[in-house]
Amino acid sequence: MRIVLMGPPGAGKGTQAAAIAGHLGVPHIASGNLLREHRASGTPLGKQAGSYMEKGLLVPDQVVINMVLKRLRRDDCQRGFLLDGFPRTGEQAEALDKALAPRGVQLALNIAVPADELVHRLTGRLTCRSCQTPYHQVTNPPKAPGRCDLCGGELFQRDDDKPEPVRKRVEVYERQTAPLVAYYRRKGVLRQVDGKQSIQKVQEEVLSKLAR
């Protein structure tokens, strides 16, 4: 199967992506990981992307498209794949379907979570200042308040996990994703998933939609 997984920051998309890919026996391809791999390897695409990232600019659609399509040509994608973090724009979605013609993407799963719930989840995150281990004040609290279970380091809240930056990230994501949701709905491949549920319940719903 050729699957696109969409979901805002805080929706638990990474956890679900790993579960889906494992269930289907297909590669989980995260665009963020691809960018990091190409930059670390010093590939021409990685250098192109890096020239924008170093200036704090968005990597152009065509660079990301080329990176993803190159990955999809590997042998392990012949039985299908799960894309995570791509496409992010209408241009990327159209380029992907064109490359996968005539069938295109077979299923677009959108994990939907209300904005208020996302802010609540993301602002509860804490990080160890020493070893960078992540925690959450509600779902994964440390044993001792303010201290890392692993190394005893101080826990702190990153600036981008504070309420105002979180709200902005959620707003940006919603603006970017709305056209994609509409695009895949028109194609008849969109399936909405209730992301307010527990991780296990979300996974059960996702696997149920896959089975159909």
Residues catalogued as catalytic: 13, 88, 125, 158, 169
Comparing C-alpha atoms, which of 19, 197, 22 is closest to residue 111?
197
- CA pair distance 203, 193, nearest whole angstrom: 9
What does R_g of the chain's alpha carbons equal in angstroms?
A: 18
Cα separation of 155 and 147, whole Å? 6
